[in-house]
Amino acid sequence: MTEDELNGRLRIAVVIGSVRRTRLADPLAAWLKRELTAIDWIDLDMIDLASVSLPMHEMQPGGAAASPIAGWLADADGFVFLTPEYNHSFPASVKNVIDWHFTEWAYKPVAFVGYGGSGGVRAIEQLRTVFPELRATTVRESVLLPMAWEHLDADGSFVPPPGTVRALHATMNELRTWARALRSLRVSDLAARA
């Protein structure tokens, strides 16, 4: 891998975790998409779990089942999970997409944008205990959106409170550092096995 390839653009997949019909995830995902599209090193995929069929009864250990999003996840250099907090944890839909896949997460970084009364911090911290089993690493920085429902304008668009965009950029910069390092690791590991 050349220096240019190492320092070039990265494919980042945002996973929208809530699948509720009326959900705060919609304005938050729209805001996140706007912000991330403006970052010059990112090629963005938005994966909306509400539009993806991953039946629990078809799940296989090791991610063997045919998943409609396996290709997108496999192509990603890093992930951003947009997750609400439900009952002091992350939603079942988020655990389901994690469990449905295996190699797609391996040796890649995961960042979090959380929301809820306390910014989804308990959901995020619990997700940090899950990803090492998939050989994924979680990045230190995160974006917490406490009481985000109070930051919607008359059109229902999310208007981030002060500091939010700065936190997002800090999180994405950390994700980039890990994504570059781990992409290099994945390439050299594959070359060593070839």
Q: Binder to ligand FMN among 38, 55, 57, 87 (CB under 6 A)?
A: 87
Q: Is residue 80 classed as helix, strand or coil in its secondary structure?
A: strand
Residue 15: its H or E element:
strand 10-16
Q: Decide whether 43 or 48 has the Cβ nearer to ligand FMN.
A: 48
Q: Binder to ligand FMN among 31, 86, 105, 158 (CB under 6 A)?
A: 86
Q: Select from 49-57, 84-92, 94-102, 135-143 the region that touches ligand FMN (CB under 6 A).
A: 84-92
Q: Binder to ligand FMN among 9, 60, 71, 88 (CB under 6 A)?
A: 88
Q: Select from 21-29, 36-44, 158-166, 169-177 the region that touches ligand FMN (CB under 6 A).
A: 21-29
CA–CA distance, 90 with 98 (Å, rounded to integer): 12
Q: How far from the centroid of its chain's Cα atoms is residue 63's Cα? A: 18
Q: Decide whether 63 or 116 has the Cβ nearer to ligand FMN.
A: 116
Alpha helices of 38-78 — where are they, by DSSP H? 70-75
Instruction: Pick out residues in 100-159 that bind ligand FMN (CB under 6 A).
Output: 116-118
Q: Binder to ligand FMN among 27, 63, 78, 84 (CB under 6 A)?
A: 84
Q: Strands 109-116 and 137-138, how do they pair? A: parallel
CA–CA distance, 113 with 34 (Å, rounded to integer): 14
Closest residue to bound ligand FMN by CB: 116
